[in-house]
Chain A
Amino acid sequence: MNRSRGYIIQGIFVLVGVLFALRLFSLQVLDESYKAAADNNIIQEEIEYPFRGLIYDRNGKLLVANKPMFDLMVVPSQVFIKDTLKFCDLIGIERNEFNEKIKKARKYSLVKASPFLKQLSLEDLAKIEDYLDEYPGFILQPRTTRSYTYPIMANALGYISEISPQELDKDTANYYHSGDYIGKSGIESEYEIYLRGQRGKKFKIRNVRGVEKGEFKDGEFDTLAVPGLSVTSTIDRELQQYAEKLMNGKSGSIVAIEPSTGEILTIVSSPSYDPNLLTGQKFSANFRSISQDTLKPLFNRPLMAAYRPGSIFKIVQSLVALQEGVITPDTKFKCNTNLIGCHNGASHPFGTSEKLVGAIKNSCNPYFYQVMRRMVVQDVDESPYLDAKIGLDKWNGYVQKFGFGSPLGIDLPGEKGGMIPDAAYYDRAYQGREWKFSNIYSIAIGEGENLVVPIQMANFVATVANRGYYYTPHLIKSIGDSGKPLPQYSEKHHTGVDSAYFEIAVEAMSQVVKSGTGQYRAKLQDIEVCGKTGTVQNDPNPDHSVFIAFAPRNNPKIAVSVYVENAGQGARAAAAISGLLIEKYIKRDSARLYFEPYVLKGDFE
C-alpha cells in the first residue's frame, strides 16, 4: 500500500510539471500582449513624478509652492545628431561639456535613459522644445522643484534635494529610486512621508530606436501619480517676516508660541539664508557656499544652540521651591553678596531682605542661592554628600517636568535636549570625589552646568502663561484636510506645580516689566506684558541678551523667547524685540512699534 503512495507522490510531481508547462504555454505562446518580443520591442517604465504637498501659513498664505522644471534625458544608443554645434547652441552648453555628458551617459548605460541636463526651467524649455524632435535619443522628463513665496524661515522649512546613497540604503521599504528628491531638513524632512505623494508609473512599448509604439496592455499596469498632502503651518507669516527683519544682522534666535495650543507662531534662526537659493540648477554651488559660511546659516539655533539660561531660570527655581514647600511667597532672604554677587543698585542695595516677588523683580542672586540650598540640602541624610545627592535629584525631577534636559519632541529634525545636571552627572564629573552644595551652587541662578535650547525657554514661558501645563511646540497644525496636527501635539503635559504658585510667578514677571530696572523696553500701552530678563555671562566675549515674555497677562495670546548673542544686557536688545513682536502680533497694523528704530540700528552698548 505504501508503495502505491510512492506513485501518488510521483503523480503530484508530474501534475505540477504539466501545470507549469500549460501556464507557460499560455503566458509565452498564446498571450499576444507579451509579444512585443516578436519585433524586439522593449517595454519601458516611465515615471510620473507626483506633485509635492504645499506648505501654508496659519492664515492660509502660501509659503512653499512647486515650480515646474524638466530634466533632459538621453538614451545614448538612440542619439543621432547631424550638427553637434547647433545642438550645443540650442541647449546652451559648450562642445566639450557635451562630449563629457554623453560620455558619462554612455558609461551609465547605452540603452537606459539618464539625465543629460537637470532642472531646466520653463524658459529653458520654451527655447528647445520645438527643436527637440530633430534630435532622437533626447527625452524631456517633467519634474518639479520648490519655490518659496517669501525668503523667510529657511531652517524651519528645510529644503529638498536628490536622495543620497546612504538615504537610499536606509529606505528599507524601497520607496525611493536614485535621482528622487527627498526632504533633507526642516518641515520638508519631518513631514516627508505626507508631502511626497506617490510616484506613478507608465509602461510604454518602444522599438529599438526609442520610438514609442503605444501603451503596454492598454495601460492595465499603469498607475497615476498621487499628489502629496499639503500641510498648514502654525507660523504667522507676517510676524515671522517682521521677526526676521528685527534679527537682521544679529546672531541668535526667536521663538514665539501660542500658549493655549503650543503652536509656534514664529521661529527665527539668525543668520539665515534665502531658501530659494537651494532650488533649481544652482543648488550645488549655493549649498556649498552656504554650508561653508563661517556664520553658520544652516545651524538651526532655536533647536540646536544650547545656552546657559541665566536669570530667567530663577522663575523655574521659584516654582520648584514653592511646590516642594521649602519656601513660601513670604520667605525672606538677605541679599548677602558674600555668597554670590548681585546687581546691587539704588532699588536693591546690599543687605536688603526681599520676599520672593521682590527677589525675582530684582533678579537677586543671593536670594536664589539660598532657595537652592534649601532645595538641595533638606537634611534627610546625615552625610552632607548623600543629602545633596538626594536633594539634587529631587530638584532635577521637577525641572525635567518643565521640558528641560531632554528634547521636547518638536516636529523638526535635530532638536537638542540641553542639560539639567543630576547627582550621577556630578559623580562622573568629580570622578568619585565627594561633592556637596557648595560645589554646585552656580546652577541656582541658571549658570554653571545648566544648558537649555531657545525652544525650551519659549515652551517654559508658554507654560507659565498657561499656569502650569504645555502642549509640545509644533510647526504643523493640519496635515492634508485633517485639520489636526500629529496626535502627540494634542496631548497636555502638566508640570506638577500648582497653578496658585504660577500666579505668584506671573505677578513677579508682570512687576519685572512694569517697574524692574530697565525692562521698560518691553512695556506696552494697553497690553500687560509679563517677562523676565537674563544676561548670560559669556566671558571674554560680550554677554548674551535674553528675554522671555508673554502677554496679555490674562488669557495670554503669545509667549516669546528672544536670545541675541553678544548683545549685552537682556533688558536691551532682547526685551525691546520681545515687546515689538508682542505688540505686532496683538495689535497688528495699529502697533506703535516705538523701539523699532532702536532694534534695527543694532547698537546695544
Chain B
Amino acid sequence: MRRGDGIVDRIDWLTVALYGLLVLAGLLNIYAAIYDIDNPAPFFSLSHNAGKQMIFIGVAVVLAISILAVDYKVYDTLSYPLWALFVFLLIVVLFVAREVNGAKSWIEFGSFRFQPSEFTKFATALAVAKYISRPNFKIARLKDAAILALLIGVPALLIIVQGDMGTALVFSVFILVLFREGMSPIPLILGVSAAVIFLLALLVQNHFYFWIPVAAISGIAIFFNRKSVKRMVLILAAGILVIGMFESVGYAFENFLKPHQQNRILVLLNPNADPLGAGWNVTQSKIAIGSGGLTGKGYLNGTQTKFDFVPEQSTDFIFCTIGEEQGWLGSMILIVLFMALLLRVTQLAERQKWRFARVYGYSVASILFFHFAINIGMTIGLFPVIGIPLPFFSYGGSSLISFTIMLFILIGLDANRMQMLAH
C-alpha cells in the first residue's frame, strides 16, 4: 500500500477529534453530576453512571474501529435489512418492554438492556439515503415521496406508540435532508408556520387578538391583489385556513395530547403555571445554569446540581452541570464544539460524490442538530421538556453507542469517497 493511501490517512481526523472531545467532556460532567461531596465515589468504579459510561465508551471505540475496518459498501447493501430489523425490534418492544417513565422502549436480556429506538435513527438514515440514491429518484413523484414517508413515518409512529414522543419527534428532522435533496421548501415553511400558529393558539388568551391581525393582513393583501380574482380567493382561503388551524389547535391540544404532554407545553409558555409539577424541571434547571455566572463555580463545586434538584442529572439534563460549574464560558466552549461538529459533518456531506453518502451525511448532521437544539433548548427553557439526550455527552449506552455508529459510518464513507467514483 502506498503511503498516504491507508485508511488512517484518509480519515477526517478533525471530526474524530471533535467526537473525542465531546465524549471526554461528557464523561467528566457525568462524574460531576453524580459527585456527592458527602461521600465522593472514586472515579473508576462501576457503582455509578460515570463508571458505566466508561464501559460504554470502550464499547463505542471498539465499534468505531470495526466500522472503519469494514468495507464501506456494506452499509449500502445493509441499509434496508437494518431498517427492517429495527422496525421489527420496535414492534417486539411493544410486547416485551417494561414501562419506564411512561414509555415502553427498553428490551432487556438479563442485566443487559438497550433501546431499539436509539438505533432506529441511523438505520432510517441509511434507508432514506439508499432510497434517494436510486438512479431515477424524483422527490416530486408521488410514489417516491410516499415511500420516503413510509421509511421515516413507520418507525416514528411505532416510537409514538411506545409512548416516547421525544424520540419520535427526531424523525421530523429528515425534512431538512429532503429539503437539501430538492424537496420544495414549502412543507418546511408550512411546518414552521404551523408551529408558530400552534404556540400562538396556546399563548393568546383572547382570540380576537389573533383574528384581528390575520384579518387585517388578509385584507391588505387582498387590496393589493384586487386585480386578480384567483389571488384574492387564495388569500382569503389562506386567511380562513390560518384561523381554522388556530381554533382547532386548542381543541386538538385538549383532546389528543396526554395530560403530561399538555403540561410540558403549557409550562414552557409559563413555567410558573405549575412550578411543582412539570415546571419543576425547567425551573430547577434554569436556577442551576443561571447560578453558574460567567465563569462557573468550578468543577465538582456545583451546588444546585448536587442536591437532586435537577432531575435526570446525568442523562437529559447533563447540560445543567456544565452551566453551573463551567459558567457561560464553559457553555460557550460546548456550543462551539457542537457547532464545529455540525458544520464539519455538513461539509463532509457536501464533498461526497456518491449521493447515498451525501444524503446519509446530511441525515447525521440533521439528527445531531435536532438533539443538540432540543436538549439544550429545554434546559434553558426555550423548548418543552421532551427527554432526548445530548449526543456523545449524556449518560446512556444506547444513545452513546448509536450516535457513535452513526457518525463513524459517515467517517468511513467519507474516507472512501475517492474509491466511490468507480460507482
Contacts and interface: CB of A to CB of B under 8 A. Distances in A.
Interface of A: 2-3, 5-6, 8-10, 12-14, 16-17, 19-21, 23-25, 27-29, 31, 33-38, 40, 42-45, 106, 109-112, 172, 198-199, 201, 216, 220-221, 223
B182 interface: yes
Given A24-B335, A29-B294, A29-B328, 15 more contacts: A12-B176, A13-B343, A13-B365, A16-B369, A17-B338, A28-B331, A35-B291, A40-B297, A42-B304, A112-B307, A172-B102, A201-B275, A201-B276, A216-B287, A223-B275
Contacts of B373: 16
Contacts of A24: 289, 323, 328, 331-332, 335, 380
Nearest to A221: B275
Contacts, number: 119
B265 interface: no
A9 B176 contact: yes
Contacts of A37: 291-293, 297, 324
Contact of B293 (A12, A38, A201): A38
A25 B328 contact: yes
A20 B335 contact: yes
B26 to A, nearest CB: 17
B343 A10 contact: yes
B303 interface: yes
A111 B309 CA distance: 13
Given A24-B289, A38-B293, A13 B369 contact: yes
Interface string B227-265: 000000000000000000000000000000000000000
A43 B289 contact: no
Contacts of B323: 24, 28
B180 A111 contact: no
Nearest to B304: A43
Contacts of A10: 342-343, 346
A208 to B, nearest CB: 9
A172 B179 CA distance: 41
Interface string B329-344: 0011001101100110
A198 B277 CA distance: 11
A23 B328 CA distance: 10
B83 interface: no
Nearest to B338: A17
B320 to A, nearest CB: 11
Interface residues of B, number: 50
A36 B362 CA distance: 43
A133 B358 CA distance: 70
Interface in B308-365: 309, 323-324, 327-328, 331-332, 335-336, 338-339, 342-343, 346, 349-350, 362, 365
Contacts of A221: 272, 275, 283
Contacts of B338: 17
A17 B287 CA distance: 21
A20 B307 CA distance: 26
B38 interface: yes
A40 B324 CA distance: 12
Given A6-B180, A110-B37, A13 B342 contact: yes
Nearest to A17: B339
Interface string B162-205: 00000000000000100111100000000000000000000000
B376 interface: yes
A35 B296 CA distance: 11
Nearest to B350: A6
Contact of A28 (B37, B181, B283, B293): B293
Contacts of B303: 40, 42
B290 interface: yes
A223 B297 contact: no
Which residue, of A36, A199, A221, has the highest number of chain B Cβ atoms within 10 A?
A221
Contacts of B350: 3, 6
A29 B292 CA distance: 8
22 contacts: A2-B182, A5-B180, A6-B349, A10-B343, A13-B343, A13-B369, A17-B338, A19-B382, A20-B376, A21-B335, A24-B328, A25-B328, A34-B290, A36-B291, A38-B293, A40-B303, A42-B303, A43-B291, A172-B102, A199-B276, A221-B283, A223-B275
A9 B289 contact: no
10 closest A-B pairs by beta carbon, nearest first, are: A34-B290, A37-B291, A28-B328, A110-B38, A17-B339, A27-B290, A13-B342, A34-B291, A42-B303, A16-B373
B377 interface: yes
B121 interface: no
